[in-house]
Amino acid sequence: MTEGGKLIIFSAPSGSGKTTIVKHLLNQPELNLAFSISATSRPRRGKEKNGINYYFMSVSQFKRHIKDGDFLEWEEVYRDNFYGTLKSEVERLWSEGKNVIFDIDVSGGLRIKKKFPEKTLAVFVKPPSVDELKIRLKKRSTESDDKINMRIAKASVELATAPQFDKIIKNYDLPVALDEAHKLVAEFLGVEIPPKEN
């Protein structure tokens, strides 16, 4: 892969608020970020669009990309439910002169960090508690209780990996977490945050 900008990883258990934080950072022009769209073999949900939310593919297509070595990282999160980052996606964003931001699961985040240790900032977003996570996931009402329980079980395992990340942000109070994430990323990229307009 050709070398390009920096890589910013946000990982966390489902419902921790990492997606909200990533969206906030993408709206900060001085950070010059572009979002890395993941590939997945899971079915679309609701209004999701191919090439915007995810690159949707069948299980066999996904497996072919694995065989061809097209992924920077990939994982079978649940049976036949694959997620991964295509090398071509990162190269596309680097060729546009952007720093790439990821909203990916914990093991994928750590794999990218391992491949590009000097270029990567890996941030773990910590929810207030597993109970709070359960409440947030239920509020979303996008998944069955079984699926929520699977995510909660996975969350306990994921929380144990937090110390392997460069930084941990506690998302107990969203505005504070957004501010902290903005400062962290700006510092890593060596850019000034413009003063807030009153």
Burial degree of 81 (CB within 10 A; 0-12, 13-18, 19+)? middle
In whole angstroms, what is the distance from residue 45 CA to residue 43 CA?
A: 6
Ligand-binding site membership of 19 (annotated) = yes
Ligand-binding site membership of 14 (annotated) = yes
The answer to whether the Cα torsion of 101, 190, 183, 160 is positive or negative is positive
In whole angstroms, what is the distance from residue 187 CA to residue 104 CA?
A: 21
Burial code (b: 16+ CB inside 10 Å, e: under 16) for 142-172 equals eeeeeebeebbebbeebbeebeebebebebe
Ligand-binding site membership of 12 (annotated) = yes
Ligand-binding site membership of 17 (annotated) = yes
Residue 12 tokens, joined: 């966390």
Ligand-binding site membership of 141 (annotated) = no
Question: Count of H helices and E strands in the chain?
Answer: 7, 9
Ligand-binding site membership of 15 (annotated) = yes
Q: Residues within the annotated binding site?
A: 12-19
Q: Residues within the annotated binding site for ATP?
A: 12-19
